[in-house]
Amino acid sequence: MAESDIGAYAHSLLEDVHAQAETTDADLSTAFAELVLDQFCAEGLTEDARVVLFKEHGAEISGWGRSSDGRCLDLFLTEYSPRADDSYKIAKQGAAAAFRRAENFLTRCLGGQIVGRDPSSEVAEMCAGIVDAHDSVDMVRILLVTNARSIQRDPFDDVELAGRSVGRELWDLRRLANWATSGDRAEPIVAEFPAGMACLATPQTTEDYSVFLAIMPGKDLAELYSTHGARLLELNVRSFLQIRNGVNRGILDTIRSHPQRFLAYNNGIAATASRVDLEESAPGDRRIRRIHNLQIVNGGQTTATIHYANSMTSSRRSRHTRTPRTGSRHPT
């Protein structure tokens, strides 16, 4: 994206923040947090995100969200400046320091060091929700969102906090601008298969598209949904909430009692992609290595149920092996 386009987006973003501040009677930093969290929710990058501001020495947070299917816990830290010039930058050290403040908040929250000060506040309510979700979700993410240009181009590594891996994502002005002007607000899903997934190609009847048939292990499909959630199921298909009807119940019963018969009982899943990267190590041995812009267009219910079953299995296993955290407080 050209720097001139990023500059134009920076000015447009400032105008949007000022309009948000006037509408909600909030200061500019709070308005920026409200604006980006609303946009993230609208585009499926998070769910049910709420702005809750908290800051003390060495710890800070701007909001949080938990996906409706229990897949992901998101913590947000936003940093806003009323500057639109290209000299407003955030270096690797500055971003790392911001991530540490959010990590400190999570550690203190799980340790009960924050909620005890004001049990009736919205901060306490947020802490209770985070404690409740932390051990049960598939992944925990810290998202740093800023209207500064980042000097750091490489992604930040995950960190280990409270016995589990926590992802760290930086959304700087350049990334926000690319996302807002791409025409497809959600970044494309790219599914990787390092070992390759064996496939067959059907006879091609048109130059417009190709069709491939493959058998994907249920665990791989569950991990894809765990990573991408409802974004994998197109915009008009909602996340899996609970086993409500006979179809879902039947799928779940088959997974639990007769997994070897799943292929015989299920119609399969139809998905689309913009490109499929193939490799052929030997004649007739064609394997899928990468699927770009993956979208499941038929079989979302099956996908979500497989994810649910896998999550329940993992949860039961972790309950048997997890060592209790010391010094933590849980609601009674």
196: Cα separation from own chain's centroid: 25
pLDDT above 80 (res 151): yes
In a domain, 327, yes or no: no
* pLDDT at position 197: 93
In a domain, 34, yes or no: yes
pLDDT above 80 (res 102): yes
For residues 212 and 292, membership in a common domain is answered with yes
Domain boundary among 181, 208, 240: 181
For residues 145 and 251, membership in a common domain is answered with no
pLDDT tens digits for range 38-69: 988 877 788 889 999 999 999 999 999 998 76
In a domain, 294, yes or no: yes
Q: How confident is the model at residue 331 (pLDDT cuts 50, 70, 90)?
A: very low
Q: Determine if the pTM surpasses 0.75.
A: no
In a domain, 331, yes or no: no
Q: How confident is the model at residue 239 (pLDDT cuts 50, 70, 90)?
A: very low
pLDDT above 60 (res 206): yes
For residues 153 and 204, membership in a common domain is answered with no
pLDDT tens digits for range 214-225: 999 888 988 888
pLDDT above 70 (res 36): yes
Domain boundary among 149, 181, 213: 181
User: How many domains does the chain contain in total?
Assistant: 2
pLDDT above 90 (res 297): no
User: Which residue range(s) make up the domain with 244?
Assistant: 190-321
Amino acid at 23: T
For residues 28 and 77, membership in a common domain is answered with yes
Single out the residue of 262, 258, 292 nearest to residue 275, CA to CA.
292
pLDDT above 60 (res 325): no
183 burial via Cβ count (<10 Å: 0-12, 13-18, 19+): exposed
Residue 77 β-bridge partners: 144
For residues 133 and 250, membership in a common domain is answered with no
For residues 120 and 175, membership in a common domain is answered with yes
Distance CA 98, CA 95 (A): 5
In a domain, 57, yes or no: yes
Which of 165-174, 258-267, 276-285, 294-303: highest mean pLDDT? 165-174
Average pLDDT (238-250) is 49
For residues 143 and 31, membership in a common domain is answered with yes
Q: Are strands 139-146 and 89-90 parallel, antiparallel or unpaired?
A: unpaired
In a domain, 220, yes or no: yes
For residues 76 and 152, membership in a common domain is answered with yes
In a domain, 329, yes or no: no
Distance CA 295, CA 135 (A): 29
For residues 40 and 166, membership in a common domain is answered with yes
Q: Provide the percentage of residues in the chain whose pLDDT is more than 70.
A: 84
Distance CA 191, CA 143 (A): 22
- In DSSP notation, 72-130 reads EEEEEEEE--S--STT-EE-HHHHHHHHHHHHHHHHHHHTTTTGGG-TTSHHHHHHHHH
* pLDDT at position 97: 97
Domain boundary among 181, 215, 240: 181
For residues 171 and 67, membership in a common domain is answered with yes
pLDDT above 90 (res 119): no
Q: Average pLDDT of the chain?
A: 83
For residues 14 and 74, membership in a common domain is answered with yes
For residues 21 and 163, membership in a common domain is answered with yes
* pLDDT at position 245: 45
Angle of helix 122-134 versus helix 92-110 axis, rounded to 10: 90
Considering only residues 153 and 90, tell me which one the structure prediction assigns the higher pLDDT: 90
Single out the residue of 174, 103, 108 nearest to residue 143, CA to CA.
103
Token pair listed for 247: 């179809």
In a domain, 44, yes or no: yes
Q: How confident is the model at residue 330 (pLDDT cuts 50, 70, 90)?
A: very low
Residue 78 β-bridge partners: 145
Which of 222-236, 241-255, 259-273, 274-288: highest mean pLDDT? 274-288
- C-beta separation of 11 from 84 below 8 A: yes
